[in-house]
Chain A
Amino acid sequence: MTQFLNQIINSLNVGSIYALIALGYTMVYGIVRLINFAHGEILMIGAFVGYFLATTFSMSLIPLLLLSMIACALIGMAIDRIAYKPLRTAPRISALITALGMSMFLSNLFKYIFGASDKIMPPVKLIGNIDLPNITILTMTITVICMIALEYTVKKTKAGQAMRAVSEDRDAAQLMGINVDRTISLTFAIGSALGAVGGVLYALNYGNLEPYMGVMPGLKAFVAAVLGGIGIIPGAMVGGFLIGAIETFVKGYISSSWANVFVFGVLIIVLLVKPTGLFGKNVKEKV
């Protein structure tokens, strides 16, 4: 029984991180119809920024987290401006390839700068001299706060409304006076900030960092986004926790090397049975 409870707790931990990353994927896909392959690298960058601040400045978690979020938000916006914006009207395949290239660029850039060896996250305080609470409580609390903040932003602010409008119909939104470019930048910023949170939490949970650390969680978070329904925010949240659960339980009860097979298996099943995901609607292509 305790085994089972442990697995549930682990699922929540892992699931939170996946959910946060999945949100970034889903928001960007919703607004520019692009799978931002580089998003996994945002997780990595967020973690590395956190690591850097913790080791060099012995910063505590809350300021560290905020700075990491800001850094990643800026980087996310930069990625969009440099690589994705020039290709907004290009064929989808070109944009996808560019995203791949961006992902490669970031992971190898950090490998070049920081070296390939694992870094260990030092212990951090919560704020001032207060110790960190239990890691699961911390992870869950931060995740819930982020999700509430996101829901509020998307549903209740003008910027959020703009984001939803541009996702539905970019041209119409533009005609309504919405600055599409700025809205897209904002989406990247928010998505990347969430990614940064995911990265820092990942570093706290698992302890070690390396330049390619974002690849696998990024892919799995993407599966989560697809599972929930790509472009749908609650879907990403639910999907993240589901994937976290699947991975944890397979690792716990079968073996850890089969976990990834199951996760990708879920992806394939979803795409074959209901590609729009759990929360998705069916849209037919106009002929």
Chain B
Amino acid sequence: MSLLQTKNIGITFGGLRAVSNFDLMIEKGELVGLIGPNGAGKTTIFNMLTGVYQPTEGEIYIDGHLVNGKKPYQIVKLGLGRTFQNIRLFSDLSVLENIKIAFHKDMNYTTFEGIFRLPRYWKEEEEIHTKALELLKLFHMESDAHNLAKNLPYGKQRKLEICRALATDPKLLLLDEPAAGMNPQETKELMETIHFIRDKFNITILLIEHDMNLVMGICERLVVIDYGMIIAKGSPDEIKNNPKVIEAYLGS
């Protein structure tokens, strides 16, 4: 059973068919890239996978569960984590707080226990505090723990977003243009980071990216879309030389 399977999904906005006939299967442990020219519908697909949009056609299965109609927070519980094209951090909160919130779904103490500071409150708060700091350490950001997210440099903000997504303990991580705005050095670090988290957390990754160095460098498999439809699938080498892909990116 695949970790993620989409059967012919599509979505129509008003009169516009943004995505159609999107068939994808991702197995556990893969590192797949979703590429295509601007406006092809990549983020729209992410939004459908995460429940932000509901597909108007087709079905999405995560670990065999049908997720059409589920709300984003429910899909997170099923093991899907994501980052955003335009960074969406909790800007006025500290780095540590940003991570702590991601543990919310795994915490259980009730309002009553919170107000009266009963043992379960202390236990769970202590746990997430420790876990959050550990996660930050892995990303070499523990010294930033109490800085406000909005004060971090851009590269660290991107790292933080990935870190936060990892705190939700996902099986499948969706990265939306993680290298956007990064210089070659930062991109190289990002590639190492992605490899690292895939191995350390035993996680499957699907990423959207325009930076071909990164895409060719780390993706094991690529899916290319244009005008909301898949135009090619295959290994990076196969895709590099695919005439349809070249035409899509360069025009004719």
Contact surface of A with B, Cβ cutoff 8 Å: 282, 284, 287
Contacts and interface: CB of A to CB of B under 8 A. Distances in A.
Interface of B: 13-14, 43, 47, 52-53, 84
7 contacts: A282-B14, A284-B13, A287-B43, A287-B47, A287-B52, A287-B53, A287-B84
A282 B13 CA distance: 10
Contacts of A284: 13
Nearest to B72: A287
Contacts of A282: 14
A243 B109 CA distance: 49
Nearest to A284: B13
Nearest to B85: A287
The SS class assigned to the B binding surface is loop
A282 to B, nearest CB: 8
Contacts of B84: 287
Nearest to A285: B52
B51 to A, nearest CB: 11
A287 B53 CA distance: 10
A14 B56 CA distance: 45
B96 to A, nearest CB: 24
Contacts of A287: 43, 47, 52-53, 84
Contacts of B43: 287
Contacts of B53: 287
A282 B14 CA distance: 9
Nearest to B46: A287
Nearest to A281: B14
A36 B222 CA distance: 51
Contacts of B52: 287
Contacts of B47: 287
A274 to B, nearest CB: 15
Contacts of B14: 282
Contacts of B13: 284
A284 to B, nearest CB: 7
A287 to B, nearest CB: 5
B8 to A, nearest CB: 22
Question: 7 closest pairs, A vs B, by CB?
Answer: A287-B52, A287-B47, A284-B13, A287-B43, A287-B84, A282-B14, A287-B53
A18 B221 CA distance: 62
A281 to B, nearest CB: 8
A287 B84 CA distance: 8
A284 B43 CA distance: 14
A137 B12 CA distance: 49
A229 B188 CA distance: 50
A204 B47 CA distance: 56
A284 B14 CA distance: 10
A287 B42 CA distance: 12
A282 B53 CA distance: 15
A238 B192 CA distance: 61
A216 B134 CA distance: 57
B71 to A, nearest CB: 14
A31 to B, nearest CB: 24
A287 B13 CA distance: 14
A49 B52 CA distance: 52
Nearest to B50: A287
A287 B44 CA distance: 9
A284 B53 CA distance: 10
B94 to A, nearest CB: 20
A284 B12 CA distance: 12
A284 B44 CA distance: 12
Nearest to B88: A287
A150 B46 CA distance: 45
B150 to A, nearest CB: 13
A287 B50 CA distance: 11
A131 B210 CA distance: 74
Nearest to A282: B14
A238 to B, nearest CB: 23
B204 to A, nearest CB: 22
A284 B52 CA distance: 11
A221 B47 CA distance: 38
A282 B52 CA distance: 16
A165 to B, nearest CB: 22
A38 to B, nearest CB: 29
A21 to B, nearest CB: 32
B143 to A, nearest CB: 30
B126 to A, nearest CB: 34
B45 to A, nearest CB: 12
A100 to B, nearest CB: 23
A91 to B, nearest CB: 11
A61 B119 CA distance: 76
B226 to A, nearest CB: 20
A171 to B, nearest CB: 16
A284 B54 CA distance: 13
B82 to A, nearest CB: 10
